[in-house]
Chains A and B, each alone.
Chain A
Amino acid sequence: MSKKSKNSFAINRRQLLASSLALGTAGVAKSVQASEVGPSNSPPNLPEWTTYLGDGVDVAPYGLPSEFESHVIRRNVPWLTATAESSVNFTPIQNLEGFVTPNGLCFERHHGGVAIIDPNEYRLMINGLVDREMIFTLDDLKRFPQTNKFYFLECAANGGMEWRGAQLNGCQFTFGMIHNVQYTGVKLSDIVKETGLRPSAKWLLAEGGDSAGLARSIPIEKALDDCMIVWAMNGEALRPEQGYPARLVVPGWEGNMWIKWIRRIEFGDMPYLTREETSKYTDLMTDGSARMFTWVMEAKSVVTFPSPENPLNKKGLHQLRGLAWSGRGKIRRVDVSLDGGRNWNTTNIHGPILNKSLTRFTMPFYWSGDEMLVQARAVDETGYVQPTIKELQNVRGVNSIYHNNSIATWLVNKNGSVENVRLG
């Protein structure tokens, strides 16, 4: 708070005192009543912020959230990784409304820290089984036909700590490796029109320019279907931590494939089997074998209120809120249970309902002050139903780390506190 506003506050207190003195006995009674209602800025008092001129324009040339929202930040779990340069933090989905994630809150996952790239020196190379091996500048890319699309990006390890039981007590830490923004860019299929593609090209390798040189193989059908090279998110340039000045978008598929700081795409006739698709991002089964190339993010949903970070503080009417998404298309329906899965209610889905995008749902409910076991279950347009953890464990065991899209349970205690629990 500025010095000015502190001074104004002092004046405000003095004025208040004076006015209640002048009012005499009746005034005292009134001011007692007012202080029961709320702090000194509540009716009938003159709010402090009315008594001074506020900041002028340009005090914050790039605007920031209110100082009262300082708790709405990305957070990490330090014990998860050896070093912050190869680590992850989580989107505070429990504090967000609608389906758009603000750019500064989009979770980060780096394998070698954030590359700082001068856009004038940025180059995208296309090589391999093409007619012409080519290099594009950022300006070149922006001259191609443009596409604007909302897509969610979810890390395949979102919820990965919860395979064996309820481990992290928060909506942010169990579901927060996800964000949803509007991308501006060019379709990969248009860039390929420029380079030409040999008929033998069946796969591509996408490679980052960061110190991890992150590299993933993508089958050609997907690449030409809906993949994009993008330079903007939510109307402004990509944030450095999201791949500035350009990244790959692979709608509906695991976040690791969305190569940031993309510098090169090579076309080939077989997959490249990089470290990120062998050592990592393969799903270990109980018998020791592992699934490979498990790209699609299956339908999932989460209740963001009430949640461990958002307890209930009053009985009566509340609006339950949550998010649902599917890598196979649109969300058709989300059901919520308040009694651990015995009885379900279909929630209101708020449009626009977009393909491979977060979708907001809400449901009014009355809290009687009793315990509740809150769950959400998403159904997507293919008819796929979000499974229970038991159903997943029966098929996959507990060692796969990735692709846990099961239903979570929030226990609302009698005192209104909420915790992440496992039912059995």
Chain B
Amino acid sequence: MLGLVKFFSIILIFTCGFGSALASERQFNLGAIASPAEVAGWDIDVRPDGLGAPIGSGNAFDGEEIYAERCGFCHGDFGEGIDRWPELVGGEDSLNSHDPIKTTSSYWPYASTMYDYIYRAMPFGEAQSLTIDETYSIVAYLLYMGDIIDDEFEVSNDTIGTIQMPNKSGFLLPDPRPDVVEKSTILCMINCESDTNVIGRARDLDVTPENES
């Protein structure tokens, strides 16, 4: 790795000094060329088509144990969420209700996002501490609990981009805003139509934190 860095910095000096094809494209000659090893260490994202998924695999059977040890005390053994920690599984058919429950199984459109997010950010406060296979296994366990795969399915760099999530077609594109059409181009200034009855007061709900002042 050290050798690689050195190698690239030599190229850099060379190209800057002699104005080769590479140098002519750079406008400011600032920064350093990143080595493949440097990029590999930080390039952790995984895309819906599986691009970026590191080589490895895991199934729900393996995942159950790791999940119970590293995730369950916040998210619940079945992903139901303990206290105020987020719920991870469940809530199917709730999205059009008064109390929608958005979880990996009810809402998330791509399984790749589960790998990407769990590896980069979980366990909360211990980011990027899971191994690649542990992460695939936990993803498999959550997908299994959400009835999306069976317990033998191997989630891997080859399969992560192929898993069909139930709410995949639940998202609308592109952004339709501005979506509220004004009634007229000339804004009403006097004697406008408006509901002026007070039908709700924040004070009555009494959920506002008290101000010390």
Enumerate chain A interface residues (CB-CB to B < 8 A): 70-71, 75-79, 81-83, 85-86, 111-112, 125-127, 131-137, 140, 143-144, 165-170, 173, 190, 193-196, 205, 207, 211-213, 215, 263-264, 266, 268, 270, 272-275, 278-279, 282, 284-296, 298, 308-309, 335, 337, 339-346, 373, 377, 379, 383-385, 387, 390-392, 394-396, 399, 403, 411, 419-424
The answer on a CB contact under 8 Å between A422 and B198 is: yes
Q: Does chain A have a CB within 8 A of B190?
A: yes
Knowing A211-B125, A212-B121 are in contact, say whether A194-B30 is a contact too (CB < 8 A).
yes
Knowing A135-B31, A166-B202, A266-B45 are in contact, say whether A75-B211 is a contact too (CB < 8 A).
yes
The answer on a CB contact under 8 Å between B124 and A342 is: no
The answer on a CB contact under 8 Å between B207 and A125 is: no
The answer on a CB contact under 8 Å between B171 and A292 is: yes
| A to B CB contacts below 8 Å, 17 in the list | A70-B213, A144-B28, A144-B30, A166-B202, A196-B26, A268-B51, A274-B117, A275-B113, A293-B174, A294-B177, A298-B178, A309-B211, A343-B190, A373-B196, A421-B198, A421-B202, A422-B199
Q: How far is the CA of A131 from the CA of B190 in the complex (A)?
A: 60
Enumerate chain B interface residues (CB-CB to A < 8 A): 22, 25-34, 38-39, 42-45, 47-49, 51, 83-86, 95-96, 100, 102, 104, 107-110, 112-113, 116-117, 120-121, 124-125, 127-128, 170-180, 182, 185, 187-192, 194-203, 205, 207-209, 211-213
> What chain B residues lie within 8 Å of A165 (beta carbons)?
199-200, 205
From the candidates B30, B39, B121, name the one contacting A112 in the complex (CB within 8 A): B121
The answer on a CB contact under 8 Å between B113 and A274 is: yes
The answer on a CB contact under 8 Å between A289 and B34 is: no
Knowing A275-B116, A278-B110 are in contact, say whether A421-B192 is a contact too (CB < 8 A).
no
Q: How far is the CA of A187 from the CA of B192 in the complex (A)?
A: 45
Q: How far is the CA of A166 from the CA of B198 in the complex (A)?
A: 10
Q: Which residue of A lies closest to B97 (CB)?
A: A288
> What chain A residues lie within 8 Å of B86 (beta carbons)?
82
Q: How far is the CA of A70 from the CA of B175 in the complex (A)?
A: 42
Knowing A134-B31, A215-B120 are in contact, say whether A291-B201 is a contact too (CB < 8 A).
no
Q: How far is the CA of A340 from the CA of B193 in the complex (A)?
A: 10
> What's the count of A-B pairs with C-beta under 8 Å?
265
Q: How far is the CA of A166 from the CA of B208 in the complex (A)?
A: 11
Q: How far is the CA of A45 from the CA of B34 in the complex (A)?
A: 71
The answer on a CB contact under 8 Å between A284 and B100 is: yes
From the candidates B31, B39, B83, B203, name the one contacting A194 in the complex (CB within 8 A): B31
The answer on a CB contact under 8 Å between B31 and A136 is: yes
> What chain A residues lie within 8 Å of B104 (beta carbons)?
279
**Minimum-distance CB pairs A-B, first 5:** A288-B96, A341-B194, A71-B213, A288-B95, A82-B84
The answer on a CB contact under 8 Å between A344 and B188 is: yes
**Chain B facing A: main interface SS:** loop
> What chain A residues lie within 8 Å of B27 (beta carbons)?
190, 193-194
Q: How far is the CA of A82 from the CA of B144 in the complex (A)?
A: 26
The answer on a CB contact under 8 Å between B189 and A194 is: no
Q: How far is the CA of A193 from the CA of B196 in the complex (A)?
A: 56
Beyond the given A125-B39, A166-B205, A343-B192, could you list 19 further A-B residue pairs with CB under 8 A, ordered by the A residue number?
A: A83-B124, A85-B125, A144-B30, A166-B202, A205-B45, A211-B127, A212-B127, A264-B42, A273-B109, A275-B121, A279-B104, A287-B96, A288-B170, A293-B175, A342-B196, A411-B198, A420-B201, A423-B196, A424-B199
The answer on a CB contact under 8 Å between A335 and B197 is: no
Which of A132, A335, A387 is the most central at the interface, judged by chain B CB atoms within 10 Å of its CB? Answer: A132
Knowing A274-B116, A289-B170, A341-B194 are in contact, say whether A166-B201 is a contact too (CB < 8 A).
yes
From the candidates B49, B116, B172, name the one contacting A289 in the complex (CB within 8 A): B172
A290 to chain B, nearest CB (A): 5
> What chain B residues lie within 8 Å of A345 (beta carbons)?
189
A225 to chain B, nearest CB (A): 16
Q: How far is the CA of A205 from the CA of B197 in the complex (A)?
A: 47
The answer on a CB contact under 8 Å between A296 and B95 is: no
B134 to chain A, nearest CB (A): 17
> What chain B residues lie within 8 Å of A390 (beta carbons)?
195
B52 to chain A, nearest CB (A): 8
The answer on a CB contact under 8 Å between A263 and B195 is: no
From the candidates A268, A278, A387, name the one contacting B180 in the complex (CB within 8 A): A387
A162 to chain B, nearest CB (A): 9
From the candidates B42, B191, B205, name the one contacting A263 in the complex (CB within 8 A): B42
> What chain A residues lie within 8 Å of B51 (beta carbons)?
268
The answer on a CB contact under 8 Å between B34 and A133 is: yes
